[in-house]
């Protein structure tokens, strides 16, 4: 179902706003519907991407001068795993808590230098730390879940959601949730907003925390290295 049909059915079947002058503009409802796609991707991990795609999201140039600390694309929700561009060195995506168990003292003082084995995620800040820190320039390849890019938003009426949905009409519930929070006596309806949020969450789940997102990574073996004296 395309943007025009989604907006029309939202007006006619949920908002009772099919006759001009509208209570909600087309641009406003378009924004809510794009937000719905974004929320579906965050909650249900609906948009996967990797370095083989046409986007540049999953290919990240790393300068050794940054000590392995690298910004990632803001669209990335969670990193599943990674590798170096030579294809010979897979990297585990882990949280800082994971690293504390796997490599105690990993971030204390001067970090170990060498071929990276781990991608330490800071999803809230949209940065990662490679460990060990690289000694030469390299390209990091990622496997991720992400949100739609600006170029993937629905703009024209015949645009469709970037993710495949068996029933795209489910997106209307998020749009209605936002619409009924509009601060106007003719539009505000907090009970209706809560009802449509619950319907959306029945389909796509609740919004995860950053901690929960970090747990979506392909888990590394929890084996601590033996130090040789």
Structure confidence at residue 220 (pLDDT) = 62
Helix (H, G, I), strand (E, B) or coil at 119: strand
For 47-101, write each residue's pLDDT tens digit.
999 987 777 899 999 999 998 999 999 999 999 999 998 878 999 999 888 899 8
Which DSSP letter does residue 225 get?
P
- High-pLDDT (> 90) share of the chain, %: 70
Identify whether 21 is preceded by a cis peptide bond (ω within 30 of 0). Answer: yes
Structure confidence at residue 109 (pLDDT) = 63
Mean confidence (pLDDT) of the chain = 90
Confidence of residue 223 (pLDDT cuts 50, 70, 90): very low
Average pLDDT over residues 168-196: 96
Q: Tell me: pLDDT of 226 over 60.
A: no
How far apart CA 119 and CA 94 sit, in angstroms, is 6
Inter-residue contact 189 to 36 (CB < 8 Å): no
State pTM to two decimals: 0.88
């Amino acid at each position: 179902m395309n943007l025009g049909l989604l907006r029309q059915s939202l007006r006619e079947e949920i908002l009772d706003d099919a006759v001009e002058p509208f209570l909600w503009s087309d641009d406003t409802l378009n924004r809510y519907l794009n937000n719905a796609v974004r929320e579906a991707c965050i909650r249900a991990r609906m948009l996967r991407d990797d370095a083989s795609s046409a986007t540049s999201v999953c290919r990240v140039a790393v300068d050794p001068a940054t000590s392995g600390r690298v910004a990632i694309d803001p669209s990335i929700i969670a990193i599943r795993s990674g590798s170096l561009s030579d294809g010979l060195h897979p990297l585990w995506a882990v949280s800082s808590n994971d690293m504390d168990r796997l490599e105690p003292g990993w971030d204390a003082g001067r970090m170990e230098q060498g071929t990276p084995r781990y991608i330490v995620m800071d999803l809230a800040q949209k940065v990662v730390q490679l460990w060990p820190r690289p000694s030469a320039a390299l390209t990091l390849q990622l496997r991720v879940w992400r949100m739609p890019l600006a170029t993937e938003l629905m703009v024209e009426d015949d645009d469709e959601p970037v993710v495949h949905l068996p029933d795209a009409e489910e997106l209307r519930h998020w749009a209605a949730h936002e619409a009924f929070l509009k601060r106007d006596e003719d539009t505000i309806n907090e009970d209706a907003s809560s009802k449509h949020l619950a319907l959306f969450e029945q389909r796509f789940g609740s919004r995860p925390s950053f901690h929960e997102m970090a747990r979506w990574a392909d888990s590394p073996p929890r084996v601590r290295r033996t130090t040789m004296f």
